[in-house]
């Protein structure tokens, strides 16, 4: 579903991704973890072209995202993206946030788009919030709306960048519950997170990144029980003590 082929990315002269080669199969759930600044955000942002790359190829759903003649806007409809900071549109109601893309990009009539949006909101447990503005939501609710918005175009792939890091601890659970539910639905999912319980439970594979390199690509059992790389071992130990 997603292929990285020797991807290099620089910020100025700072090399931020080094020869990333990896593969996410259809329906797979991949959790990316690693220390801060290791390039996790950058990596998943290259998947939908929010960040350009220096060289290499990223193929999503059979299409080269960074090809010069790629229709990036069309490709992005197939890739849901959930941000750490939610980034809901504050000037629109929750319902409009979720139904915007279907109306503008799939040309759905408002009524039908809103019906679909209500169904998605019900799925993330927020049916009753359809008509409020994002400013009135808690962090956990905001992130669940953001997930509903990312699902509105029915993308086969969804990417998460630390979806629970900006939340108060008591709200992490409700967002993870939605993601767990989603993981079981057959969608291909790539998720940057430090929620190791979640990774253990739902991930098919765990990627450990450090300094712009994927140091380890393992099943959760392998990764959590016997991480091969010393830096992965230290990372896990630090997480446990935190």
**Site residues (vs ligand ADP, CB under 6 A):** 11, 14, 16, 34, 36-42
User: What does the DSSP 8-state code read for residue 135?
Assistant: G
In whole angstroms, what is the distance from residue 224 CA to residue 198 CA?
12
CB of 171 to another protein, least distance (A): 16
* Cα first-last separation, the chain: 35
Binding-site partner at residue 39 among another protein, Mg ion, ligand ADP, none, CB < 5 to 8 Å by type: ligand ADP
* Smallest gap from residue 177 Cβ to another protein (A): 23
Residue closer to ligand ADP, measured from CB, 49 or 102: 49
Q: Which is nearer to ligand ADP, 198 or 207 (CB)?
A: 207
Residue among 135, 169, 197, 230 that touches another protein (CB under 8 A)? 135
Taking CB within 5 to 8 Å according to partner kind, which of Mg ion, another protein, ligand ADP, none is near residue 21?
none
Burial (CB count within 10 angstroms: exposed 0-12, middle 13-18, buried 19+), residue 91: exposed
Q: Which DSSP state fits 58?
A: E
Mask for 52-91, x = binds another protein (CB under 8 A): ---------------------xxxxx-x-x-x-x-xxxxx
If contact means CB under 5 to 8 A according to the sort of partner, which of another protein, ligand ADP, Mg ion, none does residue 37 touch?
Answer: ligand ADP
The CA radius of gyration of the chain, in Å to the nearest whole number, is 18
Mask: binding to another protein, 103-122, rule CB under 8 A, as x and -?
A: -xx-----------------
* Rounded-to-integer distance, Cα 111 and Cα 131, Å: 14
Distance of alpha carbon 83 from alpha carbon 176, whole angstroms: 14
Question: Residue 164 touches which of ligand ADP, another protein, Mg ion, none (CB < 5 to 8 A by kind)?
Answer: none
Residue found by looking up tokens 């002269």 in the block: 13
Sheet holding 205-210, edge to edge: 79-82, 157-161, 188-192, 29-33, 205-210, 213-218
């Amino acid at each position: 579903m997603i292929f990285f082929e020797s991807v290099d990315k620089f910020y100025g002269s700072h090399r931020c991704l080094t020869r990333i080669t990896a593969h996410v199969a259809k329906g797979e759930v991949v959790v990316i973890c690693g220390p801060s600044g290791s390039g996790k955000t950058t990596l998943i942002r290259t998947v939908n072209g929010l960040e350009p790359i220096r060289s290499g190829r990223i193929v999503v759903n059979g299409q080269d995202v960074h090809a010069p003649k790629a229709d990036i806007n069309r490709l992005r409809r197939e890739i849901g993206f959930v941000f750490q900071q939610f980034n809901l549109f504050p000037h629109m109601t929750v319902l409009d946030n979720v139904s915007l893309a279907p109306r503008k990009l799939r040309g759905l009539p408002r009524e039908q788009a809103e019906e679909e949006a209500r169904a998605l909101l019900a799925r993330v447990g927020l049916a009753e919030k359809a008509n409020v503005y994002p400013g009135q939501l808690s962090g956990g609710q905001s992130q669940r709306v953001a997930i509903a918005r990312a699902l509105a175009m029915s993308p086969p792939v969804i990417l998460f960048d630390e979806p629970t890091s900006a939340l108060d601890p008591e709200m992490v659970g409700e967002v993870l519950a939605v993601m767990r539910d989603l993981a079981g639905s057959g969608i291909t999912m790539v998720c940057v997170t430090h929620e190791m319980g979640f990774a253990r439970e739902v991930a098919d594979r765990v990627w450990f990144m450090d300094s712009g390199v994927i140091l380890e690509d393992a099943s959760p059992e392998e990764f959590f029980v016997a991480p091969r790389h010393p830096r992965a071992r230290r990372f896990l130990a630090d997480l446990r003590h935190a």
